[in-house]
Structure 1
Amino acid sequence: MVELTETAYHDEDFTDVDWRGLLIDGISFDDCDFTDASLAECRTVRAAFSGCTFTGTELYSTDHRGTSFVNCTFDRAAWHSSRLVDCRLTGSVFVDCRFVPIVITDCDLTLVSLGGATLVGTDLAGLRLREANLTEADLSRCDLRGADLTGARATGLRLTGADLRGARIDPGAWVAANLTGARVDVDQAVLYAAAHGLVLRADDDSAEP
């Protein structure tokens, strides 16, 4: 079994390492390279990854609690069957990653790039996705109740059948995203109408010119 003897690693090359099933507790990694590494079934607790590269990395069936992945790059990384709870992924970029199925709870995804990502049917309720790049992402049938999508880039975003009730969404997203069959609350319906140039009037205004 691999044993990590340091509490902090900087600019280390962990290419091709096999850390399957390893517990990473309270350790920080700064600008480290995990290309083609296997971290499958790892557990992290309050670990910190900053500016790290995960290209072709196996991260499936992992469990992360209170861990941060800040400004990291995930290219063709496998995240399926993983769980992230109370984690921070601020500014990280995800390219051609496999996510589904995945559990993401009470996490901060501010400024993340998920362009083209597929997260169909995932529970994303209450997540912070402020200023995230969701261009061409597929969030169909996702639970986004109470999520914060303020400032998110939504061109080509698929929200077909998603539950958006209580979510904070900018006017531009109501126009840019595909919302067919999405569930919204009354206030959101008004915002959607306004974003599409509709004018809402009460019945007693019908006689006005």
Structure 2
Amino acid sequence: MLESRIIAAQSDDNFIERMLFEGEVLSGVDIARIEFESVQFTQCQFSKCNFLKTSFYNSVFENCNFANCNFMESYWKGSKILTCKGDGSNFSKSTIKETSLADGSFRYADFSSSVLEYCTIHDCNFTEAFLSEIRLKKPTLKAVNFTGADFFKTLLKGIDLSDCIIDGITVSDTRNELRGAIVNAGQAVELAARVLGIKIV
């Protein structure tokens, strides 16, 4: 049903609203520039689908898999991404506002050059994700794994990372990204050791 609704929207107004899609399986489908309003996706599988410039307003992805899909320049507002797998997905140059991400996996995902405003991210895995040149405004971060993530040119001033794992994150040589970031004592020691080039035993 979802694929037929997408085809209909593309030939009409590019708009889908107030619908529930459950257990859908889509592969290689072009979903670019569709607007979803108050739509819920539950246990859906998306393989190599193109969500370029797609918009999601007050919509929910729950227990879905969209790993390696393209969400470049997508727009999100008031939405939720819950217990989803987005490993390797491309969210670069996207705008994400007042949106919640919880219990999800976004390993190796690309969020570079995106804008995140008033977002909540809980219990998510962003290991080795690309988070460079992101504009962050008042995010809430709890139990997020940023191991090896790339924060190059992402200013973290005032961002509370104290409940997150930030081992091995990538920043510039000047480390300006970390100025004013909020970290716990253990994180501060590890970051200081990296700056000084010493090993802690």
TM normalised by structure 2 equals 0.84
- Please state if 1:44 is matched with 2:41: yes
C-alpha contact 1:134 1:154 (8 A) present in aligned 2: yes
Q: CA deviation at 1:185?
A: 0.9
- Please state if 1:166 is matched with 2:163: yes
C-alpha contact 2:96 2:119 (8 A) present in aligned 1: no
- In structure 1, C-alpha distance between the alignment counterparts of 2:121 and 2:176, rounded to whole Å: 17
Corresponding residue SS for 1:70: coil
> Residue in 1 aligned with 2:93?
96
- In structure 2, C-alpha distance between the alignment counterparts of 1:84 and 1:123, rounded to whole Å: 10
Q: CA deviation at 1:140?
A: 4.5
Q: 1:31 to 1:199 in 2, by over 3 A?
A: closer
C-alpha contact 1:95 1:117 (8 A) present in aligned 2: yes
Corresponding residue SS for 1:74: coil
- Please state if 1:35 is matched with 2:32: yes
- In structure 2, C-alpha distance between the alignment counterparts of 1:178 and 1:39, rounded to whole Å: 35
> Residue in 2 aligned with 1:203?
none
Q: CA deviation at 1:104?
A: 1.1
Normalized per residue, which structure has more strand? 2
C-alpha contact 2:153 2:171 (8 A) present in aligned 1: no
- Fraction of identical pairs, as percent: 23
Corresponding residue SS for 1:49: strand
Question: How big is each residue's C-alpha offset from its partner over 1:11-65, in whole Å with a ceiling of 9 and x where there is no partner?
Answer: x967725322221101111110012223222111111111110122222211121
Question: How big is each residue's C-alpha offset from its partner over 1:80-124, in whole Å with a ceiling of 9 and x where there is no partner?
Answer: 111111111111101322211111111111111000111134222
- In structure 1, C-alpha distance between the alignment counterparts of 2:101 and 2:62, rounded to whole Å: 11
Q: Report how many aligned residue pairs link the two structures.
A: 193
> Residue in 2 aligned with 1:110?
107
> Residue in 2 aligned with 1:204?
none
TM normalised by structure 1 equals 0.81
Choose the corresponding residue for 1:148, options 145, 148, 168. 145
Gapped regions of structure 2 (runs ≥ 5): none
Question: How big is each residue's C-alpha offset from its partner over 1:59-80, in whole Å with a ceiling of 9 and x where there is no partner?
Answer: 2211121112111111322211
Corresponding residue SS for 1:76: coil
- In structure 1, C-alpha distance between the alignment counterparts of 2:177 and 2:183, rounded to whole Å: 13
> Residue in 1 aligned with 2:188?
189
| Structure showing greater Rg | 1
Gapped regions of structure 1 (runs ≥ 5): 201-209
- In structure 1, C-alpha distance between the alignment counterparts of 2:68 and 2:169, rounded to whole Å: 26
Corresponding residue SS for 2:108: coil
Q: 1:14 to 1:115 in 2, by over 3 A?
A: farther
